[in-house]
Amino acid sequence: GENVEQHPSTLSVQEGDSAVIKCTYSDSASNYFPWYKQELGKRPQLIIDIRSNVGEKKDQRIAVTLNKTAKHFSLHITETQPEDSAVYFCAALSGGSYIPTFGRGTSLIVHP
């Protein structure tokens, strides 16, 4: 089955800096890669996703890149703000599957 590795487990940055979280996956058939954000005490929510037919997707200060050859994808947050502090989960799904395999999560702390 699919295996998703996520790094780092914790990331501490100063407000205004950029943050990058990286995930690798094992199943070359995976074709959908969502990212979820979970603020303290709240439910995880989808913030951005990418499908395997594109290499990059942006939404304001967040972007996701995908390298299918190397089987890794990354979340980039620019100009970080304290409200970006949360746990971020990456996931991968294979074509025809509706069950995401999650990474273990990255705790991002943005210091004012």
Partner 1 sequence: DVKVTQSSRYLVKRTGEKVFLECVQDMDHENMFWYRQDPGLGLRLIYFSYDVKMKEKGDIPEGYSVSREKKERFSLILESASTNQTSMYLCASSRITGELFFGEGSRLTVL
Q: Quick check: 67 binds partner 1 (CB under 8 A)?
A: no
Best CA proximity match to 20, nearest among 32, 6, 33, 4: 6
Q: How many Cβ atoms are within 10 Å of 108's Cβ, its own excluded?
A: 21
Q: Quick check: 104 binds partner 1 (CB under 8 A)?
A: yes
Structure tokens at 105: 């999560």
Nearer CB in complex with partner 1: 48/77: 48
Q: How many residues does the chain have?
A: 112
Q: Quick check: 108 binds partner 1 (CB under 8 A)?
A: no
* Contacts of partner 1 in 22-51 (CB under 8 A): 32, 34, 36, 42-46, 49
